[in-house]
Structure 1
Amino acid sequence: MHGISWKKRSSQAGLSLLLLCAVGLAGCTQGASSIQESQALAASHPRDELVLAVGTEPEGGFDPTTGWGQYGSPLFQSTLLKRDAKLHLVNDLATDHSVSEDGLTWTILLRDDVKFSDGEPLTAEDVKFTFETAASSGSVIDLTNMAGVQAPDSTTVVFTLKSPQSTFISILTTLGIVPEHAYGSDYAEHPVGSGPYKLVQWDKGQQAIVEANEQYYGQKSTFRKLTFLYLDEDAAFAAAQAGSVDIAAIPAAFSKQKVSGMTLESVKTVDNRGIMFPMQPVGGTSADGFPAGNDVTSDLAIRQAVNVAIDRNALVEGVLEGHGRPAYSVSDDLPWGNPDAVFADADVQEAKRILTAGGWTDTDGDGVVEKNGMDAEFNLLYFAGDLTRQSIALAAADMAAQAGIKINVEGKSREETKKQAYANAVLFGWGSHDPLETYNLYSSTHKGEGYYNVGLYSNPAVDSWMQQALQATSEEEALPFWQKAEWDGTTGFSYQGDAPWAWLVNIDHLYLVKDGLNIGEQQIHPHGHGWPVTSNLEEWSWDDSSK
């Protein structure tokens, strides 16, 4: 470590937002309140109501067919299946499901006692409508392999696939069902669903107020009303300090600061951060015409040296204040991850050995290795304004410099990042309960699609293993194929193989929770979009001692 301390670059400027802590409880912008007034206001709401600042506002609203609920519970809608705290499949709307021997026909049997929040019954026709609408929306929900969906009767749905797809099960656990009779152009703002809650008020940019759905067929929550405040991390922490929220998501930078009346809850995640490397030499262009390729990062020795030089435990302790764990893949601790892909890091000498073997040496003594007259220097982009990504990027650059690799860290807008990502390394964040994300990130068929595979990685062996995983008829059958795509003993997308990424850390999701509020057993959380902490709201309760 050479005495270097990698600490998060944080800003306290946002703490001035203490004055905003009453926003949402009053549903207003009428001006600042004192801390004492905010605490009194928070204490005044009934025990069956909660005020939460746990995530960002969904830009596209609350329509599952365009992506709402993909990174957490859709809340207002129900899904056919869902995953419990251990990520095991359990029924939701479905009472049973089966897959034909050839993997092409999926049959779902539905409950017959489900009603939407407007009192109308939910039937197989609504399921059919939902999947057909999602398939035609062009959204993040990939239903291109669905040949058709039929509703032979009110409680039976039959999906026909073009080819076997083991990951189709994940779509059944995340796509909330919408009502055909109440679906229109304004559905995203006025959702009707069969989930445990219904939206009653959405003040854009400020808050959403939801109430229990009296028609809900499942286990009822203790809490009748929830107010979600849309606050950034600084403002959420300020609101927690002021006592105006019952639960607040906070960054690691604030985790050491005690807040009276609240307890810090740390939730394990696969919300990872990693460096994506451009894999092609300079001279190419992306499908949309942007420059592609990087002569430094396209060299395997550079990518492997960066991977092995970085001290992931130091990143966790220094940047994340201990709230996280090292990342070695996009799917650490998930069933389809390959434990053999884990490797020893924080080894600068090994990084130097790899570079030397690859023809990289420091001939001019400036501390940066060269090869064929080219310095081992490249840019690392991150989304400007994200302090955690900035801190991780700067710390990783410091670590790589010890091995002789110069990384220039630059914050860019998302728009600029998308344009420059084909030619520059980027610090991205991913993490999903669906192995299809692995396919999207590493498959040659997804090169340059949105933020998928912008490094333009391609390996026929990896493609073959992943294709076999997709064409398996069950999740279990697919697992060894996903693992071999990562590393099969000869090649793969892991560090030991092509190393198209340097995965760095999995970031714990941190919540300040009011003393006495029990948020139940949480799933391992996916990437931080949506409100994953709410996936088990029916388990939340006040401890008896707090009443």
Structure 2
Amino acid sequence: MKRSLSILLAGMLLVGAVAISGCTDTKMEIAGTEEITTNELIAAVGTHGGEPESGFNPITGWGYNHEPLIQSTLFKKDSNGALINDLATDHSVSEDGITWTVTIRDDVTFHDGEALTAEDVAFTFNTASEAGGSVDLSMLEKATATDEYTVEFELNDDQATFINKLAVIGIVPEHAYDENYGQNPIGSGPYEFVQWDKGQQVILEADQDYYGDEPYFQKLTIVFMESDTAFAAARSGQIDLAEIPASYAGQEVEGMKIVALESIDARGISFPTQPDTGEKSEDGYAIGNDVTSDVAIRKALNIGIDRQTLVDGALNGQGEEEFTGVDKLPWGNEEAIIEDGNVEEAKKILSDAGWEDTDGDGIVEKDGVKAEFTLLYAASAQERQALAVAVSEEAKELGINIIPEGASWDKIDTLALSTPVVFGYGSLDPTDLYLKYYSESYDPSSYNNIIMYSNPTVDSYLRAAITSSDQDTANENWQMAAWDGETGFSPKGDATWMWMATLDYLYIMDEDLDIGTPKIQPHGADIFGNILEWKRTEN
């Protein structure tokens, strides 16, 4: 597929997007007659991940849950979610689980030609730990380079899941790291940073000295635009690949195909489990909700709402039912999954708990409290709005009045301790499960245990899981935390959240674009996770 740059720029303006500059050789002044060749790719895939506010800096979260492209990681995950070496060549763990030793390759250079050593690895993790970014490194005491290619990590807690942290943080060069690093990053990944036009695009070029397989696509331009605009740009032939909303699943575009990728990215409603006693957080925000703190309300919604109806309607069929937030993962518990859509059973649960409609307004009440609450969702997220509205409609049949409200994340942050929120979640690191339900992990600044859940039995399972070096034992404990036959965080137990669905990620792309075997998509999507497999099948 060849298109002149002048046509590309004009087309982007016509579809209401920002103009793409520098889509050919960025080392010289771009002429309008230059052409984009088959080994260059233009992609608009920022619908979920979006443009990083602080730039392409792994210390502040760039690359978490997705391929950082510019930087290398110690480990990666293959298409089945199994850990494989990247920079690392070997690792070992002390018997007490506190000391981790990782050896790294001796043939890796950063894009500026400087050698990557264990000092850079130690610097990256120590800096990330102090920065308190997107990756929880609270268990890391310090990282130390014991020789040029060996780094030692000392933990303050025996957490076997620490291995997952080593797969998500891109390594930065100590010699070139400062407060402006995210604006002009240097890494050792398959692609070298060339140019970032803020609010518009980032341009990357293949690193000719990369230690791994050479990418087919020698230039990668990632355009930042809303999904509707991205679809229009793809339909008019201006970009090769675009992430699109579920509502476009049935569209047909000549010369392009629509591909749906399965994900573990779940949408769920957080239920504050504490009553409203007037208590406030350190920031002065209200804590607790007198409706959702009643387990009968939470169970009734979990059992009475038909998740398949939500998928078919709100998600246009592009997703699957979800009950625990981790149904598809090795630590998911099939025994915790319930039969939903049972309105009569839900009504009985409410009635047995004392919730009755005494004034005939269609809303049940108990002790003078009506079963109604606001349900917040990010105003910019179409699928969250659709799910919130759909749940609200179904809940009316149960006698529960849910009021959907779109808001900014700044506003949601002030209300999340007292108001249910439609959140997204999907990680290949079970540590996130620990942080979501372990009572002592409560931290509203990072949404850890935002519902202020506390169950000593669940806590004991979570601790056993996160400290176990045996994966089977760990998974067994993760599963029992959801449901052990008597209690758990799942709908069969305390019904802490109402998980609704996992999303399919939809992409429209050139017919001749072969994206290999993509990894299962986490929250935020990782479309470039297997970029080294990508190619064109015909010219």
- Same fold flag (TM > 0.5): yes
Using the TM superposition, name which of 233-242 and 137-146 deviates more.
137-146
Output the amino acid matched with 2:358: T
How far has the Cα of 1:210 moved from its partner? 0.3
Output the amino acid matched with 2:434: Y
1:381-420 correspondence runs (5 A): 381-420=376-415
Q: Secondary structure at the match of 2:509?
A: strand
1:479-518 correspondence runs (5 A): 479-518=475-514
Whole-Å Cα distance in 2 between the matches of residues 155 and 443 of structure 1? 36
Correspondent of 1:362 among 352, 357, 361: 357
Whole-Å Cα distance in 1 between the matches of residues 515 and 461 of structure 2? 39
C-alpha spacing 1:191/1:474, structure 2 compared with 1 (3 Å)? farther
1:6-21 correspondence runs (5 A): 18-20=14-16
The residue that corresponds to 2:44 in the other structure is: 53
Whole-Å Cα distance in 1 between the matches of residues 16 and 303 of structure 2? 44
The residue that corresponds to 2:343 in the other structure is: 348
Whole-Å Cα distance in 2 between the matches of residues 476 and 288 of structure 1? 41
Q: Secondary structure at the match of 2:183?
A: coil
1:270-349 correspondence runs (5 A): 270-283=264-277, 284-349=279-344
Whole-Å Cα distance in 2 between the matches of residues 185 and 16 of structure 1? 33
Correspondent of 1:120 among 98, 101, 114: 114
C-alpha spacing 1:172/1:26, structure 2 compared with 1 (3 Å)? closer
1:447 matches 2:442? yes
The residue that corresponds to 1:473 in the other structure is: 469
State, as a whole percentage, how many aligned pairs show the same letter.
48
Output the amino acid matched with 1:541: K
Q: Secondary structure at the match of 2:144?
A: strand
Correspondent of 1:425 among 407, 420, 443: 420
How far has the Cα of 1:21 moved from its partner? 5.1
1:378 matches 2:369? no
Output the amino acid matched with 2:111: S
How far has the Cα of 1:119 moved from its partner? 1.2
The answer as to whether partners of 2:269 and 2:423 remain within 8 angstroms in 1 is yes
The answer as to whether partners of 2:363 and 2:400 remain within 8 angstroms in 1 is yes
The residue that corresponds to 1:23 in the other structure is: 19
1:180 matches 2:171? no
Give ranges in structure 1 of 5+ residues lacking alignment.
1-14, 29-40
Output the amino acid matched with 2:282: A
The answer as to whether partners of 1:362 and 1:368 remain within 8 angstroms in 2 is yes
How far has the Cα of 1:442 moved from its partner? 1.2
Output the amino acid matched with 2:439: S
How far has the Cα of 1:191 moved from its partner? 0.8
Q: Deviations over 1:90-121 (max 9, x none)?
A: 11011111112221121111111111111111
Using the TM superposition, name which of 220-229 and 176-185 deviates more.
176-185
The residue that corresponds to 1:97 in the other structure is: 91
Give ranges in structure 2 of 5+ residues lacking alignment.
1-10, 25-31
Correspondent of 1:225 among 219, 222, 237: 219
Output the amino acid matched with 2:229: A
Correspondent of 1:457 among 453, 459, 468: 453
How far has the Cα of 1:286 moved from its partner? 2.1
How far has the Cα of 1:474 moved from its partner? 4.6
The answer as to whether partners of 1:17 and 1:234 remain within 8 angstroms in 2 is no
- Give the TM-score normalised by structure 1: 0.91
The answer as to whether partners of 2:376 and 2:421 remain within 8 angstroms in 1 is yes
Q: How many residues align?
A: 517
Output the amino acid matched with 2:37: P
Whole-Å Cα distance in 1 between the matches of residues 521 and 383 of structure 2? 18
Whole-Å Cα distance in 2 between the matches of residues 469 and 197 of structure 1? 37
Q: Secondary structure at the match of 1:82?
A: strand
Whole-Å Cα distance in 1 between the matches of residues 321 and 207 of structure 2? 40
C-alpha spacing 1:129/1:306, structure 2 compared with 1 (3 Å)? same
Output the amino acid matched with 1:52: A
Whole-Å Cα distance in 2 between the matches of residues 399 and 91 of structure 1? 47
C-alpha spacing 1:116/1:477, structure 2 compared with 1 (3 Å)? farther
The answer as to whether partners of 1:148 and 1:161 remain within 8 angstroms in 2 is yes
The residue that corresponds to 2:194 in the other structure is: 200
Whole-Å Cα distance in 2 between the matches of residues 149 and 476 of structure 1? 28
Whole-Å Cα distance in 1 between the matches of residues 35 and 311 of structure 2? 39
Correspondent of 1:242 among 220, 236, 244: 236
